[in-house]
Chains A and B, each alone.
Chain A
Amino acid sequence: MGSNSQFNMSDESLISSLACGDTKAVQYIYKSFYPTIEKMVFKMNGSVDDAYDIFQDSVTIVYEKAKADDLHLSCQLSTYIVSVAKNLWLKKLSKNKRQSVSVLYDDMEESVAVDSDISHFHEFENNVTKLQDCFIKIGEPCNTLLKAFYVDNKSMQEIAINFGYTNTDNAKTQKYKCLNRLRKLFFNKNENEFLNERTY
């Protein structure tokens, strides 16, 4: 589907600019692959929303692999991303126990094995769901504080100012307490685990 665009980017340069978090690369990917994936999901009983969700997940997978320098393709990027999308959608369908669709879309041109990438992704997604759950449970200000540091990459100085701490050390102590609570919730720990001891 690269023909949709005015110019063609090689897979290699696309992947490397995506790895840097270049939004132009994301835009190129959208223009080049989204129509194909939308059509495919339509054919397999999906809606526009389904198609877009699947596409977002697929691009996330490609982005994370690109970032980790782990995207060594033996095929074209388009083949890879379409295979990922197809498998994600099939997984979602079978999870929702909708009708079997293997018959509906067996005329897929070529596809590559993406199972391990997808199961990694689902593992991450589950962890994120769990994490978000824990974030709700730890409440404020831990929720915002930890997200500010670990998700929005704010510095401890900024956090100290935003949260009204008198100095960075106080903010650090607070961050530690919050992370510790989060950790306990996330791994279903009791309180007073080893980290409270001073044995090491």
Chain B
Amino acid sequence: MNGPINTYELIEKYCLDLMDDREKLFYEMEIEKNPALKSAVHEHKTLMLSFEHMQDRDFIHSTLDHIHSSSRSNTDAVLNQLKLHVNKYWKTASVAASVAFMASILTFMVARSVYQRDNRNSVIQLKGYINNIEKEQKKINNEIAKVKKKVAPVPEGPSKYTGTSFALTQNGYIVTNFHVVDGYSKIFTFTADNVGHQTEVVVTDAENDLAILKITESDFKFGAKIPYSVKKSNPSIAQRIYSLGFPKEDIVYNEGYISSTTGFEGDSSHYQLELPSSSGMSGSPIVDESGNIVGIISDKLSQSEGITFAIKSKALLNLIKKLPKDFNSNEIASNQLKADSRSTQVKKIQPFVCVVKVYND
């Protein structure tokens, strides 16, 4: 990862004009030699300009909103201005009256019409004032929303236990093993970008070792639609499958096949898989060749290498039925990976596979 990051840090340094003359000269020579770099620099500049514009307009908008609303709410000032206008025109009228009575009436009428126009203006201004109250209110609501979404900090120190989980909906429903979260309330889900999100248990099925969790941030969203589906029917023996899980900090891909359609000691809710697995992979999705989720890793035979047990996806679908109404099961009903090569499938699934870490209270 260091290569591209360094490249990009240099681009940023160059665009911010933080290079000394010598460095800049060399860098510009390099840019001329390398068209890919040249276009990267150009793109970065465009993005930075857009950011800057966003910043500028935010500054002007918020400053003006403040001035605009306080000037509109200052009704005294508006009234004073109105009085000032009236006085001015009355004075004109009285001067005119001393010259000729007719003229004074005329002037009076002119003054009156001006006064009326001012009145009309103040009505419009009042309307603006109400609009501004609405705007202010919206702003306050936004602030409240911001405070609400204040993210709980990830606890210091090492986690007690880690497992793997994967997304069921874009708004943060995920599934893992019951034994991963059993007895813990401090649960954090680390998405592919390595950011921890506070998570709560929504519904569990201890018998089948399943737990459906929800990331609590109200505005949390996975970056894309769920690409895979959870399969209703059971796959047959010998079918090839693969898994994605977190036995270490980085995601690990493994492949194998279904060696038996029952689990440990004939447990019909499980499969037996010929698939390497290790701790931390509890909760990993088992995916078939066309990108359907067919199971979830639960445990392995401690004495043997390569034998892993997985919960059948049907148990997951049964548990989903117990979820609240805001859970949209359509999201995992269609599979968009059928036509993709294995590596593309994995690349698309990867963002939806997360680490679950539990901490002591």
A residues neighboring B (CB under 8 Å): 21, 23, 26-27, 30-31, 34, 42, 48-49, 52, 55-56, 59-60, 63-64, 67, 124-125, 127-128, 130-132, 137-142, 150-151, 153, 163-165, 170, 172-174, 176-183, 186-187, 191, 194-200
Contact = CB atoms under 8 A, between A and B. Distances in A.
A178 B193 contact: yes
Contact of A60 (B46, B51, B56): B56
Contacts of B125: 48
Contacts of A127: 46, 49-50, 53
A34 B5 CA distance: 47
Given A27-B63, A142-B223, A180-B4, 14 more contacts: A23-B63, A55-B64, A59-B64, A60-B57, A124-B49, A139-B221, A141-B191, A165-B195, A174-B193, A176-B5, A179-B47, A191-B347, A195-B8, A196-B4
Nearest to B60: A60
A25 to B, nearest CB: 9
Contacts of B49: 124, 127
Contacts of A165: 194-195
Contact of B64 (A30, A124, A132): A30
A30 B71 contact: yes
Given A151-B54, A200-B30, A48 B124 contact: yes
B4 A176 contact: yes
Interface residues of B, number: 55
B-side binding surface: helix, strand, loop or mixed? helix
B280 interface: no
Nearest to B48: A150
Contacts of A173: 1, 5
B266 to A, nearest CB: 43
A139 B223 contact: yes
B349 to A, nearest CB: 14
B219 interface: yes
B154 interface: yes
Contact of A64 (B9, B30, B53, B217): B53
A125 B61 CA distance: 14
Interface of B: 1, 3-5, 7-9, 30, 34, 36-37, 40, 43-44, 46-51, 53-61, 63-64, 67-68, 71, 124-125, 127-128, 131, 151, 153-154, 191, 193-196, 217, 219-224, 347
Contacts of B347: 191
A27 B68 CA distance: 9
4 pairs of A and B residues whose beta carbons are closest in the complex: A198-B3, A164-B154, A127-B50, A124-B53
Contacts of A183: 43-44, 47
Contact of B54 (A27, A56, A128): A128
A174 B195 contact: yes
Contact of B56 (A48, A64, A141): A64
Nearest to A34: B68
Contact of A67 (B56, B61, B68, B221): B56
Given A131-B50, A142-B193, A177-B193, A48 B127 contact: yes
Contacts of B30: 200
B131 A131 contact: no
A182 to B, nearest CB: 7
